[in-house]
Amino acid sequence: MTIPHLDPDHIPRHIAIIMDGNGRWAQRKGLARAIGHKAGVKSVQKIVKAGRELGVQVLTLYAFSSENWQRPALEVKTLMGLLKSYLKLELDNLTKNNIQLRAIGEVERLPAEVRDVLTDTINCTAANNGMILNLALSYGSRQEITRAVKAIVGKCLAGELSDAEINEDTVNDFLYTSDLPDPDMVIRTGGESRLSNFLLWQASYAEIYITETAWPNFRRDHLISAIADYQQRQRRFGKTGEQVQKQP
Ligand code: FPP
């Protein structure tokens, strides 16, 4: 793999990753799906480190979706166990690398022992400002938007907000990601071409990058290739190419 040169002034501020392909990676090797998830944790560690070194400000990883609760109980248990051990093991590294941990999603649905270590890690890293590692856990975009709508209606019924005041910023304010920039790029590993209920509002203008590489094989060089691809693109946000070029 030739490693492309990156423009350090044009690194996406926020990269969001759908870490797909763990199960197929394992099955291709005749191994249990759980081994694929375990191998996926190694990629998480490598990509967090690489993201920080490359100057990414926010890295959101889709670690467990609202729909993943429907997987076999043993697989859910394995994923929860991996998450807990990752959080315990990673605290030192997050601290050393000045990385702040956050979580988005219905984290109250996580087992208490995972929630406890998650809360501890979030609290211990809250003052770090080198990069935000944002884990999407029990996360679903439709659920997030529904939650926001309910909260907005609640404010209206309480007389704290009028319908005339509701705009895109209001909706944004009630999302888990309210104080984060929108993702500039969504990467999906494992070759499938769908968003799978991930950041549907926030990724409205994200550049989508799909790679056949399965998540357990995804490394720093793959991330660099994805960013290089991003740097070749012209982001138009609904305008014409000419209009965008004329902008200062
Ligand atoms: C999708 O692969 C991946 C997941 C559902 C879980 C991702 C979890 C990890 C990478 C490890 C735990 C996370 C952290 C942050 C420590 P899949 O099983 O759907 O793969 P397939 O499409 O090949 O079956």
Ordered structural domains, the chain, with CATH: 16-230 (3.40.1180.10)
Whole-model pTM?
0.95
The token duo for 245 is: 């070029």
The single-letter DSSP state of residue 68 is G
Q: What pLDDT sits at residue 236?
A: 75
CA 54 to CA 231: how far, in whole Å?
14
Is residue 179 annotated as a catalytic residue, yes or no? Answer: no
Q: What pLDDT sits at residue 4?
A: 85
Q: What pLDDT sits at residue 245?
A: 79
Q: What pLDDT sits at residue 242?
A: 83
Is residue 20 annotated as a catalytic residue, yes or no? Answer: yes
Q: Which of 210, 164, 165, 216 is nearest to 189 (CA)?
A: 210
Q: What pLDDT sits at residue 243?
A: 80
Which residue puts its alpha carbon closest to atom 16 of ligand 1? Answer: 83
Catalytic residue among 68, 128, 172, 197: 68
Cα-flanking dihedrals φ and ψ of residue 127, to 5°?
A: -90, -5
Cα-flanking dihedrals φ and ψ of residue 217, to 5°?
A: -100, -5
List residues near ligand 1 (CB under 6 A): 19-24, 37, 40-41, 44, 61, 63, 68, 79, 82-83, 86, 135, 190, 215
pLDDT per residue as tens digits for the range 118-157: 999 999 999 999 999 999 999 999 999 999 999 999 999 9
- What is the per-residue DSSP string for 191-244? S----TTSSTTTTTTPEEEE-SS-GGG--HHHHHHHHHHHHHS---TTS-HHHH
Report CA 140 to chain centroid distance, whole Å. 12
Task: Name the residue of 17, 20, 85, 107 to mutate for ligand 1: max ligand atoms within 8 A of Cβ.
Answer: 20
Q: What pLDDT sits at residue 246?
A: 73
Q: Which of 223, 218, 177, 179 is nearest to 200 (CA)?
A: 177
pLDDT < 50: residue spans in the chain: none
> Residue 134: beta bridge partners?
60, 102
The single-letter DSSP state of residue 5 is P
CA 191 to CA 177: how far, in whole Å?
26
CA 166 to CA 9: how far, in whole Å?
35
Report CA 195 to chain centroid distance, whole Å. 12
